[in-house]
Structure 1
Amino acid sequence: MNRTDRLYALVEELRAAAPRPRSARALARHFEVSVRTIERDLAALQQSGLPIHAEPGRTGGYVLDRERTLPPLTITPAEATALAVALHALDGTPFAVDARSALHKVLAVMPERERRAAGELAERVRLLVPATRPAPPAGPVVPRALREALTAGRVLRLDYADAAGRRTARDVEPLGFLGGTEHWYLAGWCRLRNAPRGFRLDRVRAATALDERAPHRAVDLTALDTLGSDVVPLDAATVL
C-alpha cells in the first residue's frame, strides 16, 4: 500500500473506530508499518485540516471527530472529476488553496474503488488553453485569521500597508471579499476611518482575529467605488 492509499485507509479506520481511540501502535500493526510512520501520517492529516486529536492515558490514542467529517460519499468518478475541473477556475483567487483542500477531503471519504476510477478519469482530462491566453496571476496569500474572522463574524486587527508603503494598524469589521482580474480586496468597515474600505490582500502584512463580534452593517459591497486614498478604488463591474 502506497502512502496516499494508506492515508485514505487511515481516515476510514479512525472513522470506523470513533468515538473510541486507536493507538499509534495498534494502527502501525494494522497497516504493517512503523509507529513513526503512522505518527507522520497522522500529523499530515491533522495539518490538512482533519479533526483528529490525541487522547492521553493508557487507553488513549487518536480519535477522529465524526461530527466534523463527511461519511463515505456516493459521488461518482465523473462528479469528482467535474469538481476538479471546476476548481481550475479558482486559480489566481484567494480560494485556490482552500478549493484544493476541499477536493482532497472529498476524495478522502470516497470509497476506494470510486476514488481510483476518478483518478483514472482525471488522467484522461486535458484543459485546452489558447497559447495567447496569459497565465492566471498567483493568488494572494490570505492569512488564516482573516478567513476565519470573516466566517465567524469577528473583528479583525490588520497591519496594513498603503500604496506608499506606510503601515497602520486598523480594526476592521469584515464584510466580504471583492475581486477582479488584477487584485483582490477584503471589504470591511474601517473603525479608523469610520467608513467602508477595501483592503488589498497583498498589502495585509498581518491579521489577528479579536474576540469581539462584529456588528451587522447594511453595506452594499457592489457600491464600494470610493474607498479612500489608501487603496485602489474598485470598479463595481469587476466585483465577483
Structure 2
Amino acid sequence: MTTPANPPRSSPPAGLTVVLADDHPVVRDGLRALLGSIEGIVVVGEAADGRAAVRETLLHRPRVLVLDLEMPELDGVGATREVMAAAPETAVLVLTMFEDDESVFAAMRAGALGYILKGAAQEEIVRAVRCVAAGEAIFGPRIARRVAEWMARPPGAGERSPFPELTAREREVLDLIAAGLANPAIARKLRLSPKTICNHVSSIFMKLQVTDRAAAIVRARDAGMGRAP
C-alpha cells in the first residue's frame, strides 16, 4: 500500500473554540469538563501562565480566551494586551477572584470583553463564553453593579488609584516594597511563593519603566504609597 506524498491537513475544529488559561490545574480541569460537555464548544488549548496563554492563543486562534488575572510569567492584563495586539479576532473573557475597581478597569482597558468572578454558576460561565464570542460585552452581576456605579459617578468624584496600569496585586506588592520590605517578607505577608513575588516585581519594573528597586520605591513614595509596613 502506498502512502500519499502529501497527506491532507487536518481541518480546524468546528464550533466555538476556546483556550483556557489559569495557573491552578483544578480550575482548568473544571472549566475543560464544563465547556467540553456543551455541544458546539471545543477546548483547543490550555495554559498555566500568561506567557503560555499568549502562545496558545496565537497557535490556535480561538474564538475565546478564558483567563485569570493573576498568573506567573505574565499577568492576565498583560496577556490580554498582547493578545489584542496580535490576535484581535480572539475575544478575552476574564474569570478571576478579583472584583476591585482597579482590576476590572485595567482588564477592560487592555481589551477584555467580559469579566466574571470565580464561583459563578456554570450556566453563567457558558453564557459569558458565548456572549463574548458573539462580540458582546458581559459582566457578572456584582461586576456589572460596580461598573454601573462607576459610570454613575459625577465628573471628578473619587480619585484614581496611583499606577492604574498595575493590577491590584502588583499595587499591593509595590506598596510593600515602598514600605521597605524585601521579597521574602512580602511573600510571607501575602502568603505567596517567592517566585511569584519575583514575577510581580519584574512586571512592576517593566510597567513603571524603572530599572531597579530604588527607583520603584521613589515613584511609589511620591504617589503616597509605602506608609504602612
Asked if Structure 1 and Structure 2 have the same fold, meaning a TM-score greater than 0.5 normalized by the shorter chain, the answer is no
Report the TM-score, using the length of structure 2 for normalisation: 0.28
Report the TM-score, using the length of structure 1 for normalisation: 0.28
Larger Rg: 1
